[in-house]
Structure 1
Amino acid sequence: MVRVFVRFMLFVRLMAMLSLLPMVVQAAVPLVNCGVPLTLAGPAQRIVTLNQQATEALVAIGAGQKVVGQAYQDDRPAARWAERYNAIPVMAEEYPNPESLLATAPDLLVAGFASAFSDWGVGARQRWLNYGTNSYLFESACAAQTVTLEGLYRDMTHLGQLTGHQQQATSWIAEQQQRLSQIRWPESQRKPKVLLWLRGYDLPYVAGCCGAGNLLIEQAGGINIAADLPKSWGHLSWETILSRQPDLILMVDSNWSSFSQKETFLSGALYARHLNVMSTGQRHPIAFSEVMAGVRLPDGIERAHHWFRAWQP
């Protein structure tokens, strides 16, 4: 009888251990991100985010409490999570130096832009892997490729896996898919020609063919007048812009190139008087974080769609 009981208890323990196997295996499966492998023994516990885009993504899926430091703020955070976002210590105005970053003992670095892992950022990802620190770079910042919503959803899925917030990431994705499914452009209405102006003045830096800016314009129902630029963002002369006469200009409002700065420039530029949007008033501010491939891109798409629908040909 004792022997049977012992065998039964061993069986129960074995089954309990087996029930944990999927979790262990899932955590140990290497994830290859932009060509760099990541393998964590378990969910990351000490994360440093190197761009606002990354910080907001983790806050959005409830992993903000695991972020021990953030860097490179581009604009104001979304009001819905501003309190949680602002509670995270800011390590540097731009990228922190490697020494101060090492002092935080991070187990995961997350960045939205490849510059984070450049020589003027925090250094190469392989270097941090040698230190025992994993890193994740948003798919939109990998080698040249067209930015898609599916790529953003993959990023959120991976961040959910890396932080142990898979359920929250899945819920976030489902919510955005539902939101964006409501945006439709009437077949009977002409689509507006749109310029998305990021920065630069005498030679504007604008959304080209393949990045999040172009994705925003197309998803919102517009036509990007700079879609022939063979890159995500690039320079377009004012002469070309005048020849294409955008129906609307979306002006990115950031900490380093504000909407008001762009308005001031246009008010003093002699050629600007020939832009139709100067008389129609179709110049609109849009946050930097809403035109990047992050969690606020759906906000930007909704906002742009509202302006596009209100525009009258």
Structure 2
Amino acid sequence: MKFKLSSVAASAILALSTTTALAETTVESCNRDVIFDTPPKAAVSNDVNLTEMMLVLGLADRMVGYTGISGWKTLDEEMRAGVEELPELSAKYPSKEVLIGADADFFFAGWNYGMKVGGEVTPETLAPFDIKVYELTESCIHIGEKDAASMDDMYTDIQNLGAIFDVKDKADALVEGYKADLAAFTDGLTPLKTAPRVFVYDSGEDSPFTAGRYAMPNALIEAAGGTNIMADLEKSWAKVGWEPVVERNPEVIVIVNYGNVTAEEKRAFMMNNPAFAEMDAVKNDRFVTLEYVEATPGPRNIAAVKTLAEAFRAK
């Protein structure tokens, strides 16, 4: 009888260990593999676009707060409703103490989206406190090599979050819906004779801050049928001089709207500066505005492509 009982116990232990092993989830985050024994229960997201990825997956109840929004941006009505039960733990980048103090077990951030290379908050500095980090795919260029930004960067993040939080079916359904929506829209577009030359104006008057080949607007512009005049810039978001912008003569200027300087003020600066008077975009007053949450990786990228595609075809 004792032998039989021991066999049952051994089988139960084996089954339990097998179940535990099967419950592990491994995702690739930049140059790391991150293993999750169980889904996080006390997550923190940084920035408005990363927070929105968490919200569309229905993960607000797995979060203890968010960071990095009110210091630079404002929430629209939809986002305010989504996070109304959650505290903003830090207006800008969080400190290590902020995340530890919130008893966080997960931080969804990126390089220059809540973390800085060599900074206080990194996957390595948070590891001793059992806070696991998933890095925004677009931002991986800051610590290694990657392909130019693409819509797949956003799809990958949604699906990896789905795997991490055990909502894979919902994540897959969202991505399939995004892809179908975008394909249906682009299939119905009037073909352009030539791809318009596009400049992304984020901020800055002395030197403009713009999107290179590794920043999400590069992918959005291409998906909409245009070409980013800074596609040869081997960086993500970066400062450039005005001289190459003038020389490359953009036909359309995309303004990223956020911060203390409004989109209309950025447009007025370009329209009223004699140095830009001969640019086709300025001569023809061809400006299009994207909100920050549309221009950075996240659920609103599909709407951003539609906005750009319509602007590129406007007369």
TM-score range, shorter chain: 0.7 to 0.9
What displacement does 1:220 show? 0.7
Corresponding residue to 1:31 among 19, 23, 27: 27
Q: Deviations over 1:148-199 (max 9, x none)?
A: 2223222111111212222221111011101111214544633221111112
What displacement does 1:133 show? 1.3
Aligned to 1:45: 41
Q: Deviations over 1:177-235 (max 9, x none)?
A: 01111214544633221111112222212222232111111001112122222222333
Distance in 2 of aligned mates of 1:281 and 1:234? 25
Alignment of 1:167-246 (within 5 A): 167-182=169-184, 183-184=186-187, 185-187=189-191, 189-246=193-250
Q: Tell whether the 8 Å contact from 1:115 to 1:121 is kept in structure 2 after alignment.
A: no
Aligned to 2:55: 59
Aligned to 1:159: 161
Structure 1 residues 300 and 193: CA distance shift in structure 2, 3 A: same
Corresponding residue to 2:288 among 274, 279, 284: 284
Q: Which amino acid aligns with 1:35?
A: N
* Total equivalences in the alignment: 300
Aligned to 1:252: 256
Q: Tell whether the 8 Å contact from 2:93 to 2:114 is kept in structure 1 after alignment.
A: yes
What displacement does 1:52 show? 1.9
Structure 1 residues 178 and 115: CA distance shift in structure 2, 3 A: closer
Classify the secondary structure of the residue corresponding to 2:256: strand
Q: Gaps (5+ residues) in structure 1?
A: none
Distance in 2 of aligned mates of 1:158 and 1:100? 25
What displacement does 1:78 show? 5.6
C-alpha RMSD of matched pairs (Å): 2.8
Identity of aligned residues (%): 21
Classify the secondary structure of the residue corresponding to 1:112: strand
What displacement does 1:298 show? 1.7
Q: Tell whether the 8 Å contact from 1:156 to 1:173 is kept in structure 2 after alignment.
A: yes
Range that drifts further, 266-275 or 147-156:
266-275
Distance in 2 of aligned mates of 1:230 and 1:283? 25
Q: Tell whether the 8 Å contact from 1:51 to 1:112 is kept in structure 2 after alignment.
A: no
Classify the secondary structure of the residue corresponding to 1:295: coil
Distance in 2 of aligned mates of 1:135 and 1:191? 39
Distance in 1 of aligned mates of 2:297 and 2:183? 18
Alignment of 1:88-127 (within 5 A): 88-114=86-112, 116-118=114-116, 122-127=120-125
Q: Tell whether the 8 Å contact from 2:196 to 2:252 is kept in structure 1 after alignment.
A: yes
TM-score (structure 1 length as normaliser)? 0.85
Q: Tell whether the 8 Å contact from 1:193 to 1:247 is kept in structure 2 after alignment.
A: yes
Aligned to 2:300: 296
Alignment of 1:67-86 (within 5 A): 67-73=63-69, 74-77=72-75, 79-86=77-84
Range that drifts further, 130-139 or 26-35:
26-35
Structure 1 residues 96 and 166: CA distance shift in structure 2, 3 A: same
